[in-house]
Structure 1
Amino acid sequence: KLAGALGASGITKGDRVIIYMPMIPQTIVAMLACARIGAIHSVVFGGFAANELAVRIDDATPKAILSASCGIEPGRVIAYKPLVDAAIELATHKPETVVVYQREQLTAELQEGRDFEWDAFQNGAEPAPCVPVEGNHPAYILYTSGTTGAPKGVIRPTAGHLVALHWSMKNIYNVDPGEVFWAASDLGWVVGHSYICYGPLIHGNTSILFEGKPVGTPDAGTFWRVISEHNVRSFFTAPTAFRAIKREDPEGKFKAKYDLNCLRVLYLAGERADPDTIHWAKNLLNVPVIDHWWQTETGWTIAGNPMGIEPLPVKIGSPSVAMPGYDIQILDETGNPLPPNTLGAIAVKLPLPPGTFPSLWNA
């Protein structure tokens, strides 16, 4: 129905829609509604500063922005609508439509003629049929800081992305259809796109959507409560989350309150996984702790441990082996390959495998 409402407002295949929302089901609904009609969504991390949002508005030139009245952080509520209004004021491009999901914690003021309340926007709309797209049609644009300059819009090709994600759910994360997978990340990041929204859904897994933190919502046992209550089989998060839990509960006392026999494996990515954190997590949970490496540009694992094919021995500091289609090389300062056990710059030789980015938006 949201897809139908977007279509009725004039959004068609190839048009861009910015989604500036918190970790609530409506955010995934917004992503899927765009995908249904071939619109290209660009999810911006909820709470990002107005000037950062304005840069993305000018680059993506969206016809609409889908937002919420607020996000919830430990101990505070963050108003989103004033940030959206300020961003549109700063931006040269002016989106035609702003749709706001009003949350009970805060009601946003709407600008007549441009802004619509979430349910009212959908009133009278007919459900939209799926719009066929070409295999390389951009499913989304996701902005990454990269290493230099302004944010860069990574494009994700639709067909290759779905093929790679479907393959990875079993072969890397070792979940079967019907099982529960939890990536404790945010929909504003690549992990949220790949492994909260699209990956689990295309593979037939239940996905956990969690608006909270590893500590403080309400305590350092939150992850264990969610895993236990929802029978999570495979869990993916960043080392930072485990460092925060370890700081608050170094002896793991909260874990003793919950039955975690359902959990088979823990995956870490997003930053360096230090040996102390890996050992602490393994001793606490008594499951394999698997480090793996990928980034916004690739959308799925570059190097990892294929737990669903053949679990490899865990070597601290190594993400194991290259995944299919990745030719990883170590180069010297002049770009020439180096022999094994030599320090150098890591590179992935073209062509990249399916699902990775073909280019940048407006590059």
Structure 2
Amino acid sequence: MGDAKQRRGAARKAKARDAQAAPPVRQAQVPAPAGLRKVARDLTALTLLIAVPYAVYSAYLWVHLESGWLRPPVGHGESRQLLIVGSQSSGTVQTSASLATLGFEVAHEASDASTTFCRDGTVSWFHGIRFLPGIAPDESVELICARSLRNMGFHPAGFRRSTSCSYRRTWDACWARECGEIIRSEWGCAITEGRACDTPFAKTLLQARHPLRTMESLVVKFCRNETAPVSHALALFAAALWPAHAWAADSCLPVVGWYVTLYYEAMMAAVDARKIDGVYKAEAVGVCDVARMGGFGSAAYPPARQLYAEVCASPGGGQGLADGARNARNHGRVRIDMENLTAIDRELATRVLALGARMGYDVP
């Protein structure tokens, strides 16, 4: 009996020694399929292609606009030299590009100097809402802020830097809230007693263009021709900005015609009230004429004054705004005259004649 116990104990000890001495069992490494490895490499390369340029661009903006190493950063509420307002298709893209070519920090449809080079000013159609009377109707805010319509030249990110919304998203509930805040803040802020706009400008100018030529360009941009249905985006913004007007449901020329007329009537009212400092014709001036009217010769920012003295020493210097080809659309495809307008809306035709005369145009 004792011998049997000893034999069993010895067997257990031997088994334990064998287990300790045996090499660990390794699981075989199954190589990843070639297709899966290729997908992983492609995803890595794609991530680098997107992330690296974005990081470099973000660093570039920070160095130039916010670091203070190259020039003082500009806060949201700090004054800029010049705001130019003018209808879409009046040549605002060309104007901003011409001023920037001279070296001025002027942006198109943006006044957030923390993400855009707009230290010296902004050229914009939508900043004209600061000259619309009254306060923003709730219905107008809802129409404008329901979705992103970047082809209309407006996004809340262009007005101020958001601390809560993601710049990786074009539009979401957060941007809709920011949009509502900006519309309510900007609407009428420059003409309403007791109010001030968030971003002040030392000078404001109105850029005019012949109203019929402006309408032609807008027809090509938003309708393709005067008999086609009007773009939903333009119809929506027009209804939001002038809710009291009875807008045609889907007819191009009446919507375009009234949009141009109502926009410039509102801006000219601000000129009459001395809330806009001057008017010029885009077809008749040079870029240095605009800089002179915008006060760059006496700008508060010294580099802007120096630049003006260097590049605009003589009156009429610089390229004419009408000489550029940026954003040219019509190329003679659409022609609108007073006969067209009279045929569709006599009141519109009458007001276009009066508007043209006020801006110094012969409207046949």
**TM-score class normalised by the smaller sequence:** under 0.3
Higher relative contact order (CA 8 A, sep 6+): 2
Greater C-alpha radius of gyration: 2
TM-score between both structures, scaled by the size of structure 1: 0.26
